[in-house]
Amino acid sequence: MTISFRVITVKELPDIAGSEYFAGSEEVPVTSHRALSLAANPCASDEDPAILLAIDEKNRLLGYWGFLSDHLDGNHTNKIMWNSGWRVMPGASHAAMPLLYKALQTCGNKILFSDLTLHTKQILEATGKVTVHTRKGIRWYFRSCSYELVSRRNFATKLLSPFFFFLDFDINLLFVPFLRKTRMPDGFKCIEVPSFNEDDQNFINSIDITSLSGRGIKELNWIKENPWIIPLEKDDPKNRSRYYFSSSEKHFETRFFRIQKEGQTIALAFMNNRNGHVTLPYFICKPGQEKAVAIAIASVTGTLKAKTFTTFNPLFLKSETDLSCISKKSISRFFAYGNKTGITFSEDILIQDGDGDCAFT
Amino acid sequence: MNTEEILPAVISVAEKILKSVPKNVNTETDFKDIPNWTSLNHALIINSIEQHYNIEFDLDEMIEVRNIGDICKLIMKKKA
C-alpha cells in the first residue's frame, strides 16, 4: 500500500487547474475559480502550499488537503495556514491520517481550522497536535426553511419533503407578516459600497482591537472579487459534479457596508447571502457603538430578504441585540489551531466569523 | 526491547479502543484490514501508545505509519 504526496504551490495552481491531468480526473481537488482566487491571495507567496495531494502507486488520487495562506493579526512575519478542506476518496480511508500528518508537517503545524465538524474535531483533539475551542453564536430564523434542510439530508427525509414544504408555507403565512421590522437607528446610515477604500483602511487601523487574522481592505476586497462560490448558471455542470466542496449556488453574494453616524464612519461590515442564509464574515465597530450598529446591521438583513441570520461575532453578540424572528437558537462552531501557531488564546482576540475560508462561503 | 515484546502491548492498547481485534493480527497487518480502525480510532490508539510508553511521535514519523509493525518499529526507535 503506497501513499505518496505532492504539494501544489500557489504559483502552480492556475496551470495545474487547467492541466490535462485535472481534465481527466474523476474528482478534482480545486475548481478553476477557487484556484484563481487562491493564486490572487494577497497574503500568499508563490511557494506557499495550496493543495496537498495523496496519491497511490498508479497515480490515483486518494485524498487532498487545501491550504489558505494568512498572517496572524496582519503581521506579515507570522505566516500561518488555514485548512480549507480535507477530503479522502471513497475506499481510501487508510490515507486520511497520513494525509493529516503530512498536512500538519507541510506547514510546520502552523495551522488553523475555522469551522470543524464534530467528527473532525474529535480526530484533531485525539492527535494531541491541535487545540480546539468552541465558539458560541446565534442563528435567527425569519422564515421557516425545514423543507430546505430535509430535502438535502437522506432518502427517507427526501420522501417527507412535501410535508415540510407545506409546513413551511403554513408557518410562514401565519407568523412572518407579524415580524417586527428592525428600523435603522436615528442619525445612522448604512451605505453599501462596491469595495472598501483607503479611508476604510484608516478606520480599521484606528480601532484598537487585536484581531486574529487582522484582514485589511486588500484582503477584504480580494475575497469579494474572487468568490469560491459562483452562480449556478456560470458553473460548468461537469466541473461542479467533480468537486466535493461547494462550487456554485443558485444565489450567492458578498456585500460590503459602511455604517455612518452623523456622517462619520463608525463600523464596517461584510455580509454573505447564500440562498437567503445571511452571515457576517467581517464586522468591526467603534467601541461603545456596538448596540446601535448591530441594530443597523439587523435592519440590513431585512433588505437582503434573509431567511436566517447567523453570527458568532463577539462585538455583535456583546450588544445583545435581539431580532424579531420566528425562532432562534444558540449554535456552536469548533475553531482549532495547531500547537506551533504561537497563539495565546484569550477572549480579547477578535475572531471574525469569516476568518479562514469561512469568508468565501 | 524487540518487536515480539512490543506487539502484545500494541494489540492490547488497540483492543481497548476498538473493543476487539482479530486474533491473527501481526506486524504485517495493515490498519485498513483491522475492523473499526477509523481515523478517530487511529488517533486515539497512537495517543494511548504515546502515553503508555511515555514517548511522543513526530509528525515526520507518523506520516509513514501504515501497519502494526510500523508502530512497533517506531516505539523501538523511541525507546532505544
Please state the domain extents for chain B: 3-79
Say if residue A76 is in the same domain as residue A149. Answer: no
Percent of chain A with pLDDT over 90: 66
Say if residue A80 is in the same domain as residue A218. Answer: no
Out of A135, A165, A193, pick the residue that ends a domain: A135
Count CA atoms within 13 Å of residue A227 on its CB side.
21
- Residue range A17-21: average pLDDT? 79
For residue B44, pLDDT beyond 70? yes
pLDDT at residue B1, as a whole number: 75
Name residue, grid cell 524487540.
B2
Alpha helix locations (H) across chain B? Answer: 3-18, 39-53, 59-63, 68-79
Residue A90 lies in a domain: yes
Q: Which DSSP letter does residue A185 get?
A: P
**Cell numbers found for residue B40:** 478517530
Sign of CA dihedral A320, A325, A330, A335: negative
Which band of pLDDT confidence, cut at 50, 70 and 90, is reported for residue A101? very high
**pTM as predicted:** 0.92
For residue A195, pLDDT beyond 70? yes
Output the average pLDDT for chain B.
Answer: 93
Which band of pLDDT confidence, cut at 50, 70 and 90, is reported for residue A151? confident
What is the identity of the amino acid at A346? S
Say if residue A16 is in the same domain as residue A116. Answer: yes
Residue A230: which domain range? 137-334+353-360
Instruction: Please indicate whether, in this complex, the C-beta atoms of B39 and A93 are within 8 angstroms of each other.
Output: yes
- Cα(A217)–Cα(B18) distance, integer angstroms: 50
For residue A214, pLDDT beyond 90? no
Domain tally, chain A: 2
Mutation target for B interface from A87, A101, A106, A340: give the one with most B CBs within 10 A.
A101
Say if residue A165 is in the same domain as residue A119. Answer: no
A91 contact B CB<8A = no
Percent helix, percent strand, percent coil in chain A, to nearest 5: 35, 30, 35
**Cell numbers found for residue A179:** 415580524
Say if residue A104 is in the same domain as residue A214. Answer: no
Which residues in chain B are contacts of A91 at CB distance < 8 A? none
Residue A346 lies in a domain: no
Tens-digit pLDDT profile for residues B8-34? 999 999 999 999 999 999 999 999 899
For residue A358, pLDDT beyond 80? yes
Give the domain B3-79 fold. Answer: 1.10.1200
Say if residue A181 is in the same domain as residue A310. Answer: yes
CA angle (A270 as vertex; A268, A275 as ends), nearest 5: 155
pLDDT at residue A96, as a whole number: 96
Residue A344 lies in a domain: no
For residue A204, pLDDT beyond 80? yes
The partner residue sitting opposite A119, judged by closest CB among B31, B40, B46, is B40
pLDDT at residue A252, as a whole number: 95
How many C-beta neighbours within 10 Å does residue A139 have? 17
Tens-digit pLDDT profile for residues A318-329? 888 888 888 899
- Residue range A28-55: average pLDDT? 95
For residue A152, pLDDT beyond 80? no
Residue A272, domain CATH:
3.40.630
Say if residue A199 is in the same domain as residue A294. Answer: yes
Q: Which DSSP letter does residue A170 get?
A: H
A287 three-state secondary structure:
coil
- Rg of chain B on CA atoms, in Å: 11
Say if residue A185 is in the same domain as residue A201. Answer: yes
Say if residue A127 is in the same domain as residue A178. Answer: no
The partner residue sitting opposite B59, judged by closest CB among A93, A101, A122, is A101
Is this complex scored with an ipTM above 0.95?
Answer: no
Output the average pLDDT for chain A.
Answer: 91
Say if residue A157 is in the same domain as residue A199. Answer: yes
Percent of chain A with pLDDT over 70: 99
The partner residue sitting opposite A105, judged by closest CB among B30, B44, B60, is B60
pLDDT at residue A25, as a whole number: 82
Task: Output A168 or B63, whichever has higher pLDDT.
Answer: B63
- Residue range A15-21: average pLDDT? 81
Out of A102, A135, A168, pick the residue that ends a domain: A135
For residue A68, list its beta bridge partners: A82
For residue A330, pLDDT beyond 80? yes
B59 three-state secondary structure:
helix
Out of A115, A135, A155, pick the residue that ends a domain: A135
Tens-digit pLDDT profile for residues A55-71? 999 989 999 999 999 99
Q: What is the dihedral of CA A211, A213, A214, A217, to 10 degrees?
A: -140
Find the closest chain B residue to A3 by CA distance: B64
Tens-digit pLDDT profile for residues A66-88? 999 999 876 777 899 999 999 99
Which band of pLDDT confidence, cut at 50, 70 and 90, is reported for residue A339? confident
Which band of pLDDT confidence, cut at 50, 70 and 90, is reported for residue A12? very high
Say if residue A147 is in the same domain as residue A119. Answer: no
Which band of pLDDT confidence, cut at 50, 70 and 90, is reported for residue A1? low
Residue A46, domain CATH:
3.40.630.30
Which residues in chain B are contacts of A129 at CB distance < 8 A? 59
For residue A194, pLDDT beyond 90? yes
A326 contact B CB<8A = no
Say if residue A16 is in the same domain as residue A160. Answer: no
